[in-house]
Amino acid sequence: MSEPVNGDNEIVEGIDSRFLISELCELVGTYMEAEQVQEVYQAYLFGAQAHEGQVRQSGEPYIYHPLAVARILASMHMDVKSIVACILHDVLEDTPATRKAIEETFGEDVAHLVDGVSKLTHIKFKNKIEQQAENIQKVLLAMAKDIRVILIKLADRLHNMRTLGPLRPDKRRRIAKETLEIYIPIANRLGIYTMRHEMEDLVLKAMYPMRYRVLENAVDKASGHRKEVINKIDKALVTRLNEMGLDAEVQKRKKHLFSLYQKMRDKHLSFNKVFDVYAIRIVVDSVDECYRVLGVVHNLFKPIPGRFKDYIAIPKSNGYQSLHTALYGPHGIPMEVQIRTEDMDIYAESGIAAHWVYKSSDESGVTGAHARARDWLTGILEMQQSAGDSLEFLENVKVDLFHDEVYVYTPEGDIIKLPRNATPVDFAYAVHTDIGNSCVAVKLDHTYAPLNTPLYSGQTVEIITSPTARPSPAWLNYVVTVKARSNIRSYLKNMQADEAISQGRRLFERCLKSLGLRLEDVPEKSMKTVLDEYGFSSVVELLEDVGMGNRSASLVVRRLVPERIAQSDAEETREMRSQSPLAIDGTEGMVVYYGKCCSPIPGDDIIGILSKGRGIVVHRENCKNISQIRAEVDKCIDVKWAENAEGNFSCRVRMDVANKPGVLARTATIISDEGADIEDIEVEDRDGFTTTMSYQISLQGRVHLANIMRRLRKVSNVLKIWRV
Active site residues: 93-94
Q: Are 636 and 611 in contact (CB under 8 A)?
A: no
- In this structure, the strands spanning 415-419 and 439-444 are unpaired
Sign of CA dihedral 348, 350, 356, 359: negative
Q: Quick one: 139 exposed, middle or buried, by C-beta within 10 A (0-12, 13-18, 19+)?
A: buried
The residue type found at 284 is V
Three-class DSSP category at 504: helix
CB neighbours (10 Å) of residue 277?
21
683 contact partners, CB below 8 Å, separation of at least 6: 664, 691, 692, 693, 694
Q: Quick one: 468 exposed, middle or buried, by C-beta within 10 A (0-12, 13-18, 19+)?
A: exposed
Three-class DSSP category at 236: helix
Cα distances (Å, whole numbers) of residue 314 to 187, 322, 326, 408, 673: 20, 9, 18, 12, 49
Q: Are 693 and 681 in contact (CB under 8 A)?
A: yes
Q: How far apart are CA 636 and CA 614, in angstroms?
A: 14
**DSSP category for residue 180:** I
Q: How many alpha carbons fall within 13 Å on the CB side of residue 58?
A: 19
Q: How far apart are CA 673 and CA 429, in angstroms?
A: 35
Per-residue burial over 651-683, b if 16 or more Cβ lie within 10 Å, else e, is bbbebebeeeeebeeebeebbeebebeeeeeee
